[in-house]
A and B are shown apart, each in its own frame.
Chain A
């Protein structure tokens, strides 16, 4: 068990615990903060996977943009604590289904057969050319169209957010 494995285990534990906190915290703010922690953990994993660009935008987009937005909304709406009333059946049923999903996914992963490496991207290449550049090249060649589509997607999101959230002028 080398050091990276230990590190992986530690971060993984943190990620799982924080994810659990997201689900269990009564206060949405706490959930949000726990989620941010999870995002950080994932960013760590990306870095470990030699994908520094992904780690960066993980933090920038998720932790930086999305979660700020979420927290802002929570504050705006002044939501403090989650419900007092208990919905035991909801909890139970949800948990059961979730756990089944977990077990099944595990089974799927262990039974499945992953493809052999097909690409030519190696650690050496990433180290030599730089991750961002490599990503950029692929994105603007093979995946140019999806990339362009994201622009419209974001435009729609903006316009939509404006329409939906605007208060009635009266």
Chain B
């Protein structure tokens, strides 16, 4: 089924772009957004599969992923704020007190 494959390829592309973002960006919030991008790519895969398979489990899964993403966003952003409060920055470069 061509259609499924195009969705899958597209999601793969998006997933990879998200990965690249995580690996290259320095702003924590942007990194977080890239992770969201990855999750969305996964969502697309799920939905595409769900449609292909003819059951709704994948879509339910997407629903939960979204919820989790929301929860992560709340906690993550709060964390960034806390970090910013202490360090006046949300560059992940600056999160380097602990090493070795």
- Chain A residues with a Cβ under 8 A of chain B: 8, 12, 15-16, 19-20, 22-23, 28, 31-32, 35, 38-39, 42, 45-46, 49-51, 53-54, 57-58, 61-62, 65-66, 69-70, 73-74, 76-77, 79, 82-83, 87, 90-91, 93-95, 97-99, 101-102, 105-106, 109-110, 114-115, 117-122, 134-135, 138-139, 142-143, 146-147, 150, 153-154, 156-158, 160-165, 167
The answer, among B19, B30, B52, for a CB contact under 8 Å with A28, is B30
User: A153 and B50 in contact (CB under 8 A), knowing A19-B18, A77-B84, A138-B57?
Assistant: no
* A/B interface sample: 26 pairs, CB < 8 A: A8-B6, A19-B13, A19-B17, A23-B25, A42-B40, A45-B47, A51-B50, A58-B43, A61-B70, A70-B32, A70-B77, A77-B80, A77-B81, A79-B90, A98-B17, A101-B19, A102-B12, A105-B12, A109-B12, A119-B55, A139-B63, A154-B71, A157-B70, A157-B75, A160-B74, A163-B78
For residue B4, which residues in chain A have a CB less than 8 angstroms away from its CB? 114
For residue B74, which residues in chain A have a CB less than 8 angstroms away from its CB? 69, 157-158, 160-161
The 10 closest A-B pairs by CB, nearest first: A119-B55, A94-B23, A98-B20, A102-B16, A157-B71, A94-B24, A119-B54, A161-B78, A165-B78, A23-B21
Let me know if A153 and B62 touch, CB within 8 A.
Answer: no
For residue B59, which residues in chain A have a CB less than 8 angstroms away from its CB? 51, 53-54, 135
- Residues facing A in B55-84 (CB within 8 A) are 55-57, 59-60, 62-64, 66-75, 77-82, 84
Let me know if B69 and A62 touch, CB within 8 A.
Answer: yes
For residue B32, which residues in chain A have a CB less than 8 angstroms away from its CB? 70
Point out which of B16, B21, B60 has the most chain A C-beta atoms below 10 A from its C-beta. Answer: B16
For residue A122, which residues in chain B have a CB less than 8 angstroms away from its CB? 54
Cα–Cα, bound, A118→B55 (Å): 7
User: A66 and B73 in contact (CB under 8 A), knowing A19-B17, A102-B12, A135-B59?
Assistant: yes
Let me know if A121 and B55 touch, CB within 8 A.
Answer: yes
Let me know if A16 and B77 touch, CB within 8 A.
Answer: no
The answer, among B8, B13, B44, B78, for a CB contact under 8 Å with A164, is B78
User: A119 and B56 in contact (CB under 8 A), knowing A82-B27, A93-B23, A160-B75?
Assistant: yes
Cα–Cα, bound, A35→B19 (Å): 14
